Amino acid sequence: MLMSELIIKKRDGGELTKEEIDFMIDGYTQGEIPDYQMSAMLMAIFFEGMTHRETTDLTLAMRDSGDVIDLSAVSGIKADKHSTGGVGDKTSLVLCPMVAAQGVKMAKMSGRGLGHTGGTIDKLESIPGFSCDMDMEKFLKNVDNVGFAIAGQTANLVPADKKLYALRDVTGTVNSRPLIVSSIMSKKLAAGADVIVLDVKTGSGSFMKSDEDAFALAGEMVEVGNAAGKRTIAVVTDMDQPLGSAVGNALEVKEAIAVLRGDFAGELLELCLELGANILIGAGKADSRDEAKTILQQSIEDGSALKKLAEFFEAQGGNPNVVHDVSLLPQAPVVVNALATNKGYVTGIAADGIGMTSLHLGGGRVTKESVIDLSVGLLMKKKVGDAVEEGDVLAEIHAASEEKAQEAIKMLQKCYTISREAPEAKPFIRGTLA
C-alpha cells in the first residue's frame, strides 16, 4: 500500500477503505509517513470531504493510535462531556458535581487554555493546593470514590490527533468537518465513558458561526459516537456572547460556586441542567428531561452538589473551604468599572473581543510557556438584551495594575454594540440531537 496512491484516490473523490485509513494513521503516528504526504492528504480531505463511514473509521483509527482508558474498575455508569469551546465556559465545574451527586461517575481529561479561551485545568489551579497531576490509579480511585475527577490528558492519549492537529494548523485545513469530528470524537472515545454529551457552540464567538453548520457538526459527532457503541447526545448552544458573567480563571470558579450555592442562575445554569439531564437520561437515572432537570435542581437546593465540589477539591489537594469562602481564591489588586458611553439596548457583545480583553489582562496564554495571572478577568454586568443608560456599568475589570485596567476598559467598550432598538430574543439552547 502506497501513501501516494491514497492521496491520488482521495484527490479524485474516491472513498478510502478502513484498511487504507488504518494504514495511513498508523504510518503517520509511527513516523513512517512524512508530513508532506499527510499535508497533501489533509488538503484532499478538505476539498473532497469524507463519507460518514470514512469519518467513523478515521475516528476509530485515531482513537486506537495510543492508550484507551479502561474505566471498568469504576462502578456504575460513566459519563463524559465535551465543549467545542467558548469564552467564559466553566460548565464542567457546575455540571460534574450535579451529575456525581446522582451517582453517575464522570472521568474527565481536560487541557490548559491557549490564547483567549480558558482551560478547565487553569481555572482549577486557582484553588489553593489543587492539582490535576495524578497517575491513572489515583484518577480512577477518585472517580469511583468522589464521583468525578478532572486530570490533564495523558501523553499517549490519541497521539495521532496531536500530530494531525499541529499539521492542520499550519496547512489551512483546520476547518474541515470530518477532521474536526475525528479530532474531537477520537479523544472522547479514548477516554472510555459509556455516555458522551457534547456542547456544540454556535455564533460569533464559536468555531461554527451559523446554526446550520453547528447542527451538521453535532449530528455527525453523534452518529460517530453511536456507531462506536457509546450513547452520544449533542446540545447546540449560543456563543454570540460569553457564557455567564465571569471571564477569568478565579472569577469563573467563583461564579461556578455561586451557581451551586443557588445564588446565580441564567444561561450557565440552563446549560448545565440541559447537559446534565441528557446524561441522566442516557445513564438510565431519569425517563424525561423535565424529571432529570428537577433531580439536578434538587442537588443545588439540598447542597449535595456543592458538597461534591468540596470533596473533589480536597481529593485533588485543594482547599475544600473555598466553596464556603471564595475570598480564599486569588484576588486582583485593582478593580475598576467599564462604563457605557451611550444609552440604548445591548444588541451584541463580541465574545472573542471579551476573551482578548481577558488575555490582555494576563488571564490567558500567548504561548504554551506563558505564565497566567489567575486573579484577573472581568465580570459582565450587562448582557445582550439589557437596557443601558449612559454611565451604567458594563463590566467590572479585575487587573494587576491601573494601567492594564484602563487599557482593558477601552477594549471592552469596543466589544459592546448598543442600539436604540431592543434585539430580537433568541433561545440560548438551539436544540438537542440524540
Tell me the catalytic residues.
82, 161, 168, 183, 187
Strand-strand pairing, 393-399 and 334-339: antiparallel
Of 90, 433, 60, 24, the residue nearest 227 (C-alpha): 60
C-alpha cell belonging to residue 3 = 501513501
Q: Which residues lie closer than 8 Å to 262 by C-beta, 6 or more apart?
A: 300, 301
Please give the single-letter amino acid code of residue 332.
A
What does 195-250 look like in DSSP terms, one character per residue? EEEEEEEESTTSS--SHHHHHHHHHHHHHHHHHTT-EEEEEEEE-SS-SSSEESHH
- Rounded to a whole number of angstroms, the CA Rg of the chain reads 22
C-alpha cell belonging to residue 121 = 485545568
Rounded to an integer, what distance in angstroms lies between the CA atom of residue 391 and that of residue 134?
Answer: 49
Beta-bridge mates of residue 345? 387, 419
DSSP state of 340: P
Give the number of C-alpha atoms closer than 13 A to the C-alpha of residue 412, restricted to the C-beta side. Answer: 32
Backbone torsion region of residue 103, taken as left when φ is above 0, otherwise alpha when ψ lies between -120 and 50, otherwise beta: left
Q: Which residues lie closer than 8 Å to 325 by C-beta, 6 or more apart?
A: none
Which residue carries 456544540 as its cell? 200
Residue 422 CA, distance from chain mean position: 30
Torsion, CA 29, CA 34, CA 35, CA 36, rounded to 10: -150
Which residue carries 480511585 as its cell? 141
N-to-C CA span, the chain:
38
Please give the single-letter amino acid code of residue 379.
L
**Contact 408/378 with Cβ under 8 angstroms?**
yes
